[in-house]
């Protein structure tokens, strides 16, 4: 590891493996293709947004789909109420400058809680993200001092287009760059659980989109472009966490990343590419996301003073529903 490749940058780059390869945490979504037409039963005036997320270890084989007990209509696209998720992420990073060939590993535990309710045709979300480092290899021990403090957020989802807009989250007392929101990739990933919703729950539905995300790696501005391809399982599948029969939505991602800026007084450039796979399980009646699992891989070239160091990373990310309280009168 070259001097100047700080723990903060290495730790943040692990989060970028998920944010980049899966493009979660997009502060404004710009689908390249028009949204799929809404099915009459896929969205109701009283439903609101439930999370969609990604998570973790090379996904274990998915539970085999089983024939549904009956011809239930697709669940609502959006869900209202109060939801709490627990998110576990295990990241590894290997540096081209480390001749030992040993990978650094860090495990984080994040709690996401948020409320969702309708405001006209928009879905309004307000929430809180609290994260902590549970384990880290010695070279990343500084992560225990740099773990994000609890961060609040608010978001608005246009139910017609699916576009997500986040409220301003920049706190200059808690970030070294005025362009970067507090919390970094950890908060980006958690917010995506709250705001990501499939275009359709119809069996066999498929679509593709291209998203451009402007975020930060440590305190360095970063632009990610990801192409995602989605499919909805033809039959229901058992949620691997709760065992409940669920709608399985899967997607693959291909991403490129480019960025640059000042980090601890040094000019840094960032160039990377990655891929990821995600499986999300949604309650077939309520539309609430029950769990999600993402495995993402990323190669990131970090340039400084004419030298380039390649970081090879993998992130194994899991989200699971801890509690859900429906909003009275919604449904």
pLDDT of residue 198: 95
- Per-residue pLDDT at 41: 33
Give pLDDT, residue 13. 56
pLDDT, residue 12, reads 55
What number of CA atoms fall less than 13 Å from residue 29's CA on the CB side? 26
Q: What is the pLDDT of residue 1?
A: 36
Domain limits, the chain: 7-325
Residue 59 has a pLDDT of 53
Contacts with 30 (C-beta within 8 Å, 6 or more apart), sequence order: 163, 210, 211, 212
Residue-level pLDDT at 172:
38
Which pLDDT value is given to residue 30?
Answer: 40
Q: Where are any strands of DSSP class E within the chain? A: 81-95, 104-119, 122-136, 151-158, 164-166, 206-217, 220-232, 237-238, 245-263, 266-283, 289-304, 307-325
Secondary structure percentages of the chain, helix, strand, coil, to 5: 10, 50, 40
Residue stretches of the chain with pLDDT short of 50: 1-4, 18-58, 66-69, 147, 170-176, 331
Please give the mean pLDDT across all residues of the chain.
Answer: 78
What pTM does this model have?
A: 0.78
Rounded Cα distance between 205 and 65, Å, is 16
């Amino acid at each position: 590891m070259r001097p100047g490749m700080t723990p903060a940058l290495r730790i943040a780059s692990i989060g970028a493996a998920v944010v980049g390869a899966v493009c979660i945490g997009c502060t404004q979504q710009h689908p390249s293709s028009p949204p799929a037409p809404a099915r009459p039963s896929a969205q109701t005036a009283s439903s609101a947004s439930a999370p969609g997320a990604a998570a973790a270890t090379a996904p274990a084989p998915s539970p085999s789909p089983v024939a549904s007990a009956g011809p239930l209509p697709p669940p609502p696209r959006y869900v209202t109420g109060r939801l709490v998720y627990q998110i576990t992420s295990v990241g590894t990073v290997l540096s081209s400058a480390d001749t030992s060939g040993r990978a650094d590993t860090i495990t984080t535990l994040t709690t996401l809680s948020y409320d969702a309710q309708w405001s006209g045709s928009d879905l309004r979300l307000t929430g809180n993200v609290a994260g902590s480092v549970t384990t880290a290899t010695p070279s990343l021990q500084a992560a225990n001092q740099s773990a994000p403090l609890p961060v609040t957020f608010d978001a608005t989802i246009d139910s017609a287009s699916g576009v997500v807009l986040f409220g301003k989250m920049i706190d200059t007392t808690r970030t070294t760059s005025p362009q970067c929101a507090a919390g970094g990739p950890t908060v980006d990933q958690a917010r995506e659980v709250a705001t990501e919703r499939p275009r359709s729950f119809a069996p066999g539905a498929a679509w593709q989109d291209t998203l451009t995300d402007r975020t930060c790696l440590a305190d360095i501005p970063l632009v990610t472009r990801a192409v995602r391809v989605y499919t909805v399982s033809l039959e229901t599948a058992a949620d691997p966490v709760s065992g409940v029969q669920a709608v399985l939505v899967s997607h693959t991602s291909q991403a490129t990343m480019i960025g640059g800026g000042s980090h601890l007084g040094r000019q840094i450039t960032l160039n990377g590419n990655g891929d990821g796979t995600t499986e999300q399980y949604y309650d077939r009646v309520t539309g609430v996301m029950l769990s999600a699992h993402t495995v993402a891989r990323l190669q990131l070239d970090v340039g400084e003073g004419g030298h380039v160091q390649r970081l090879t990373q993998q992130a194994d990310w899991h989200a699971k529903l801890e509690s859900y309280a429906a909003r009275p009168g919604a449904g």
